[in-house]
């Protein structure tokens, strides 16, 4: 779990516009991955196709970003310069078959962050964090989307992949 705290510290430095939901999204992806395990390959490819076209190819960007839990965020702008849509769709689908954690373990990660909040260096307050966790708890810990601030500042286009799949 130390790995998660280090990743969150790095994210807080790298993305000063992040909000509590962006941190929760990363923890969710770290623990469960991105796609639902019952997603089919065709649906994953169709969703990727729509986003693929909006991610302008950019060879200067990093290809991946470690998010822990044996997962990475693959930057689609960079991936477009190296791989085909079919390859990334295949890796995304195969990543849905990777091990997924339990809700109990996920809640332990959220508690760890709460316990170590002051040392992470988030660009938001502990009160904001607690309020967002209360929202999550009240809604059965849903998958969340990036905040409007994060979307506007960083225009993220990525897929969460099980690290070993694309490294093959």
Task: Give tens-digit pLDDT for 16-41.
Answer: 999 999 999 999 999 998 867 667 89
- Count of domains in the chain? 1
> Which string of DSSP letters, residue by residue, matches 51-117?
HHTTS---TTS-SEEEEETTEEEEEHHHHTTTS-HHHHHHHHHHHTTS----HHHHHHHHHHHHHTH
Cα(63)–Cα(60) distance, rounded to whole angstroms?
A: 9
Task: Decide if 54 is inside a domain.
Answer: yes
Task: Decide if 168 is inside a domain.
Answer: no
Cα(5)–Cα(115) distance, rounded to whole angstroms?
A: 11
pLDDT at 37: 64
Candidate from 85-94, 123-132, 157-166 with smallest mean pLDDT: 157-166
Average pLDDT, integer, range 131-157: 96
Percentage of residues of the chain with pLDDT beyond 90? 86
Task: Decide if 29 is inside a domain.
Answer: yes
Task: Decide if 92 is inside a domain.
Answer: yes
What tens digit of pLDDT does each residue of 102-132 get? 999 999 999 999 999 999 999 999 999 999 9
Task: Decide if 56 is inside a domain.
Answer: yes
Q: Would you give the end-to-end CA distance of the chain in angstroms?
A: 26
Task: Decide if 140 is inside a domain.
Answer: yes
Cα(119)–Cα(76) distance, rounded to whole angstroms?
A: 31
Give the other-Cβ count within 10 Å of 135's Cβ.
15
pLDDT at 39: 78
pLDDT at 164: 83
pLDDT at 8: 98
Both tokens assigned to 164? 């070993």
Cα(34)–Cα(162) distance, rounded to whole angstroms?
A: 10
Range of the domain at 14: 2-163
Average pLDDT, integer, range 1-26: 96
Task: Decide if 115 is inside a domain.
Answer: yes
pLDDT at 1: 66
Give the other-Cβ count within 10 Å of 49's Cβ.
11
Task: Decide if 95 is inside a domain.
Answer: yes
| Average pLDDT over the chain, rounded to an integer | 93
Percentage of residues of the chain with pLDDT beyond 70? 96
């Amino acid at each position: 779990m130390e790995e998660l705290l280090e990743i969150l510290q790095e994210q807080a430095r790298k993305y000063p516009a992040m909000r509590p939901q962006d941190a929760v999204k990363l923890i969710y992806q770290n623990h469960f991955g991105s796609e639902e395990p019952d997603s089919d390959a065709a649906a994953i490819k169709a969703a990727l196709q729509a986003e693929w076209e909006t991610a302008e190819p950019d060879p200067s960007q990093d290809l991946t970003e470690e998010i822990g839990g044996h997962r990475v965020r693959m930057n689609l702008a960079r991936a477009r310069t190296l791989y085909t849509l079919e390859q990334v769709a295949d890796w995304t689908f195969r990543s849905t078959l990777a091990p997924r954690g339990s809700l109990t373990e996920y809640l332990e990660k959220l508690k760890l962050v709460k316990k170590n909040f002051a040392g992470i260096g988030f660009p938001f307050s502990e009160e904001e964090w607690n309020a967002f966790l209360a929202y999550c708890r009240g809604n059965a810990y849903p998958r969340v989307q990036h905040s409007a601030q994060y979307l506007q500042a960083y225009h993220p286009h990525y897929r969460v992949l099980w690290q070993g799949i694309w490294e093959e």
